A and B are shown apart, each in its own frame.
Chain A
Amino acid sequence: MRKLALRDEILLKIDKPARYIGGEVNSVMKEKEQVDIRFAMCFPDVYEIGMSHLGIQILYDMLNQFEGVWCERVYSPWVDLDEIMRKENIPLFALESQEPIKNFDFLGMTLQYEMCYTNILQILDLSGIPFFAKDRGEDDPIVIGGGPCTYNPEPIADFFDLFYIGEGETQYEPMMRLYRKIRDKGGSRKEFLEEAAKLPGIYCPLFYQVTYKEDGTIAEFKPVKEGLPTTILKEIQMDLSDTYYPKKPVVPFIKVTQDRVVLEIQRGCIRGCRFCQAGQLYRPVRERNVDMLKEYASEMLKNTGHEEISLSSLSSSDYSKLPELIDFLIDECNRKKINISLPSLRIDAFSLDVMSKVQDVRKSSLTFAPEAGSQRMRNVINKGLTEEVILKGAKEAFEGGWSRVKLYFMLGLPTETDEDIEEIAVLSDKIARVYYETVPKEQRNGKVQIVTSTSFFIPKPFTPFQWAKMGSKEDFLDKARKVKQAVVSQLNQKSIKYNWHEADVSVLEGVFARGDRKISQVILKAYEKGCIFDAWSEFFKNDVWLSSFLECSLDIDFYTTRERSLDEVFPWDFIDCGVTKEFLKKEWQNAMAETVTLNCKEKCNGCGAARFGGGICFNREK
């Protein structure tokens, strides 16, 4: 039987010991003697969050298919265990073998949101691995980062040996081979890093140097070693139907955020909303074959025993075979008493019909993400959702029995005026009016419930808004107050509930999103002063962050509210995500001119992603 890393006394004392014991259904055990590469895959947040992430499940399954490689999982110990591990000097361990991370060959971390950055340091710290890549020795694992945050890896560049830019399906196998080859001939860590840095999509920050101008912006970014590329093109898996996808995902004992089978139907998005980073990073859109999806759906349900299946993609309504897939799922799931959850569907007659088949309309709520209140603002952000479409969708939904609506908006978008802000409340009210006009009194089940939420706009790299000024905390709160005021002056104010997102954390996220290498010292300082789990509002310590910036003599406004010129060299410019900077500039100018750009299905706008030779760029329906 497996020996657990933690004593019974500890496991019985802490919250949810199941986070740390491994042994779940479909977790992969291998004989140590049969493998020669040990890979620890980490999501630097608590187990329930990390276990819900599809990307990790894909990579875990893939790496474990490689001969001689054993991939295990590790997550951030929650604060209760964190404290015990520090006090008792217990090294961080992997769930499967329960062995210390320090003994592994690789420590991979997926970076899904900026607010996990101090948890990266927690993982390194508890593992006994030096924070800085430059300080690591032959006995330390190779620390490699992946995921969306690596499209601007600079704020955390000092902490990683390597970054994998792009989709993980393509380069891990060559990397494992390379590692084995170099190690088996007695080569050093440095030799491996030098060779790995030449693999497509792989970035080794140690071998690149940044110099700054007097104003703090970047003068030059270049490799300091012969033979390394000056730009790194993202990796992409063009054929998503014949590739790795887990047929046997791990089934947690405790309830996690995604307690269901997740079927990724496509990658990328045709729409090109100008604030959206994912919409640019994962271009071009590539669909998975519908037969493959059917086969995987059945197998995954069988192998996990989950009682729910969910479709995943940035915009499921755009999947070309959606009706066929959904018919299949409804049939299959009805027989097996399995629930279907369909997030990210555009509200229209088709989706309402489907949703009424798979969920209890009285209990479920309808989600619209207009993102901006006025049509003018929606043109700026290129959100092709008109008021007419929203109100029509709402009307049909109310006729179908729905009476709860969730609305998502952003505040602080480029060019936003007070009028645009007010329109958020006005649109919410119009939806309420549609309800009272559509549903006769006797059929109403109380009031319509409209929940209007706003988040603060954060400019992200590789979007047309990467040049945009971000709002300050005061701006944000002021705008939220204006929405609040506008809501209470509406006719149906009692039917509208308004929520807004924390401003402090948005500001910090804005710094990390477009930060440079100088930011790493602030992250380390904040960590040393106790910051951890910053994505959890109960642990987020804004004052500590502010003082850390002060002590490092770095100015938050430089990263957030500063106006950027069109020819500024950005920290992430050395990465090529497929979409050209020229295209993004053009889109930025289109935004300023309030001009809408058609989506990839309607018309190719020449973003640059066609160079990958597939996907929507070549399969546009005529």
Chain B
Amino acid sequence: MTNEHTKVRIKFSKYGSMIFIGHLDIMRYFQKAMRRADIDIAYTTGFNPHQIMSFAAPLGVGLYSNGEYLDIEMNEPMNSKLMITRLNSVMVEGIDILSVKKLPKTAGNAMASVAAAAYTVAFREGYEPDFDYKEKLSDFASKDRIMVTKKTKKSEKEMDLKPFIYELSIVNDKIHMLVDASSSGNIKPSLVMEAFYKENGEVPSEFAFIITREDTYTNIGTDEKSEFVPLDAVGSEM
């Protein structure tokens, strides 16, 4: 980052038919949106300049979100409210700009800042589990170890999910969870759900869950004693 650039963090939501647009296309979408909104975004130098833009945590296709983040660098700062209005005026239905914050010069990049993410899991109609998930969840959440097999392209390995699950409870009849989303331990909510089903002798259909990422968090505490705040809490209004 050059010194004169202003680092800006943008928070947005993803819903409706936009859940079917994958991460790479969302990146392209925002590049074009910056031009439509005439945002004074900074470019890299060189023969093929591109916008300085990075996303916090890619969201899988099919997931909703109320807390997605991307960072950009701007040549000149701009009033946050004005920028939100400008960006929203060029958005499609299914993506809303929620906040625009200036980051301190010392702030780490969006992706490295991610420590955790909160999710809400509901069930698609007709796909509710046979067991009483509201009752069974607290048993599951209080287990010492939650063993799962994590499949990668090359291998399968056994792992304990428990240390990566920070919260797991029922909120408004839906399952709420706060899990590790850092680059080292990124936990997919569906993995937790599969373990929960397995515990109760069921296998979920791959379309069973309506998953919403409620927010993405960074850790402003220490490794031992973490203190999670939303990614934009480290920024300030412009």
**B212 CB to nearest chain A CB (Å):** 14
Option from A21, A23, A254, A305 in Cβ contact (under 8 Å) with B35:
A305
* Given contact pairs A9-B207, A11-B20, A21-B17, A253 touches B29 in the complex (Cβ within 8 A): yes
A22 to B49, CA, bound (A): 30
B92 partner residues in chain A, CB cutoff 8 A: 23-25
* Docked complex: A230-254 residues within 8 A CB-CB of B: 251, 253-254
Using CB atoms, name the residue of chain A closest to B30: A305
**B14 CB to nearest chain A CB (Å):** 12
Contact check, B32 vs A4: say whether CB atoms are below 8 A apart. Answer: no
A21 partner residues in chain B, CB cutoff 8 A: 17, 20
* Docked complex: B3-45 residues within 8 A CB-CB of A: 16-18, 20-21, 25, 28-29, 31-36, 38, 43
**A306 CB to nearest chain B CB (Å):** 6
A1 to B96, CA, bound (A): 14
- The segment from A285-293, A296-304, A485-493 that touches chain B is A296-304
Contact check, B36 vs A8: say whether CB atoms are below 8 A apart. Answer: no
Contact check, B36 vs A305: say whether CB atoms are below 8 A apart. Answer: yes
Counting contact residues on chain A (CB < 8 A from B), the size range is 20 to 34
Using CB atoms, name the residue of chain A closest to B44: A337
A441 partner residues in chain B, CB cutoff 8 A: none
* Docked complex: A3-41 residues within 8 A CB-CB of B: 4, 8-9, 11-12, 17-18, 21-25
**B92 CB to nearest chain A CB (Å):** 6
Does A185 reach chain B (CB closer than 8 Å)?
no
Does B134 reach chain A (CB closer than 8 Å)?
no
* Docked complex: B80-111 residues within 8 A CB-CB of A: 90, 92-94
Contact check, B17 vs A2: say whether CB atoms are below 8 A apart. Answer: yes
A22 partner residues in chain B, CB cutoff 8 A: 17
A305 partner residues in chain B, CB cutoff 8 A: 31-36, 90
A336 partner residues in chain B, CB cutoff 8 A: 35
A251 partner residues in chain B, CB cutoff 8 A: 32
Contact check, A307 vs B207: say whether CB atoms are below 8 A apart. Answer: no
**B10 CB to nearest chain A CB (Å):** 15
How many residues of B are in contact with the other chain, CB < 8 A? 29
Does B61 reach chain A (CB closer than 8 Å)?
yes
B155 partner residues in chain A, CB cutoff 8 A: none
* Docked complex: B164-210 residues within 8 A CB-CB of A: 206-207
* Given contact pairs A12-B62, A24-B92, A253-B25, A1 touches B32 in the complex (Cβ within 8 A): no
**A31 CB to nearest chain B CB (Å):** 15
A11 partner residues in chain B, CB cutoff 8 A: 20
Contact check, A25 vs B90: say whether CB atoms are below 8 A apart. Answer: yes
Most buried by A among B92, B93, B206: B92
Contact check, A12 vs B36: say whether CB atoms are below 8 A apart. Answer: no
Contact check, A18 vs B16: say whether CB atoms are below 8 A apart. Answer: no
Contact check, B20 vs A17: say whether CB atoms are below 8 A apart. Answer: yes
Contact check, B94 vs A23: say whether CB atoms are below 8 A apart. Answer: yes
Contact check, B36 vs A302: say whether CB atoms are below 8 A apart. Answer: yes
A21 to B93, CA, bound (A): 12
Using CB atoms, name the residue of chain A closest to B41: A337
A301 to B36, CA, bound (A): 8
B34 partner residues in chain A, CB cutoff 8 A: 305
* Given contact pairs A4-B17, A17-B20, A255-B28, A23 touches B93 in the complex (Cβ within 8 A): yes
Does A324 reach chain B (CB closer than 8 Å)?
no
Does B2 reach chain A (CB closer than 8 Å)?
no
A23 to B19, CA, bound (A): 12
Does A360 reach chain B (CB closer than 8 Å)?
yes
Option from A8, A24, A307 in Cβ contact (under 8 Å) with B62:
A8
* Given contact pairs A8-B124, A8-B207, A12-B207, A25 touches B20 in the complex (Cβ within 8 A): no
Does B48 reach chain A (CB closer than 8 Å)?
yes
**B88 CB to nearest chain A CB (Å):** 13
**A332 CB to nearest chain B CB (Å):** 13
Most buried by A among B16, B20, B34: B20
Contact check, B32 vs A306: say whether CB atoms are below 8 A apart. Answer: yes
Using CB atoms, name the residue of chain B closest to A10: B207
Option from B21, B47, B124 in Cβ contact (under 8 Å) with A253:
B21
B43 partner residues in chain A, CB cutoff 8 A: 337
**A108 CB to nearest chain B CB (Å):** 24
* Given contact pairs A2-B16, A8-B124, A360-B47, A25 touches B36 in the complex (Cβ within 8 A): yes
* Docked complex: A304-329 residues within 8 A CB-CB of B: 304-307
Using CB atoms, name the residue of chain B closest to A339: B48
Contact check, A307 vs B32: say whether CB atoms are below 8 A apart. Answer: yes
A360 partner residues in chain B, CB cutoff 8 A: 47-48
**B191 CB to nearest chain A CB (Å):** 17
**B167 CB to nearest chain A CB (Å):** 27
A254 to B92, CA, bound (A): 14
A434 to B238, CA, bound (A): 60
**A98 CB to nearest chain B CB (Å):** 9
Using CB atoms, name the residue of chain A closest to B208: A9
Encoded as 1 (CB less than 8 Å from any B CB) or 0, chain A from 320 to 351 comes to: 00000000000000001101000000000000
Option from B21, B48, B50 in Cβ contact (under 8 Å) with A18:
B21
* Docked complex: B46-82 residues within 8 A CB-CB of A: 47-50, 61-62
A120 to B47, CA, bound (A): 44
A24 to B31, CA, bound (A): 15
B17 partner residues in chain A, CB cutoff 8 A: 2, 4, 21-23
A306 to B33, CA, bound (A): 9
B21 partner residues in chain A, CB cutoff 8 A: 18, 253-254
A254 to B25, CA, bound (A): 6
A18 partner residues in chain B, CB cutoff 8 A: 20-21, 25
**A19 CB to nearest chain B CB (Å):** 10
A17 partner residues in chain B, CB cutoff 8 A: 20, 61
A253 partner residues in chain B, CB cutoff 8 A: 21, 25, 28-29
B206 partner residues in chain A, CB cutoff 8 A: 12
Using CB atoms, name the residue of chain B closest to A19: B20
Using CB atoms, name the residue of chain A closest to B205: A9
A301 partner residues in chain B, CB cutoff 8 A: 35
Using CB atoms, name the residue of chain A closest to B49: A337
* Given contact pairs A12-B61, A23-B92, A304 touches B36 in the complex (Cβ within 8 A): yes
A12 to B61, CA, bound (A): 8
A12 to B22, CA, bound (A): 11
**A41 CB to nearest chain B CB (Å):** 20
A304 partner residues in chain B, CB cutoff 8 A: 32, 36
**B116 CB to nearest chain A CB (Å):** 26
A2 to B34, CA, bound (A): 25
B93 partner residues in chain A, CB cutoff 8 A: 1-2, 23
Most buried by A among B17, B32, B48, B92: B17
**A250 CB to nearest chain B CB (Å):** 11
* Docked complex: B108-140 residues within 8 A CB-CB of A: 124
Give me 5 other A-B pairs in contact (C-beta within 8 A), A12-B62, A305-B90 excluded: A1-B93, A23-B17, A306-B32, A337-B43, A337-B50
Give 10 nearest A-B pairs by CB, closest first. Answer: A305-B32, A305-B35, A17-B20, A305-B36, A21-B17, A9-B207, A337-B49, A253-B21, A12-B62, A253-B25
Interface residues of B (CB under 8 A from A): 16-18, 20-21, 25, 28-29, 31-36, 38, 43, 47-50, 61-62, 90, 92-94, 124, 206-207
What are 25 A-B contacts defined by CB distance under 8 Å?
A4-B17, A8-B124, A12-B20, A12-B62, A12-B206, A17-B20, A25-B32, A25-B36, A251-B32, A253-B21, A253-B25, A253-B28, A254-B21, A254-B25, A302-B35, A302-B36, A302-B38, A303-B36, A304-B36, A305-B32, A305-B34, A305-B90, A336-B35, A360-B47, A360-B48
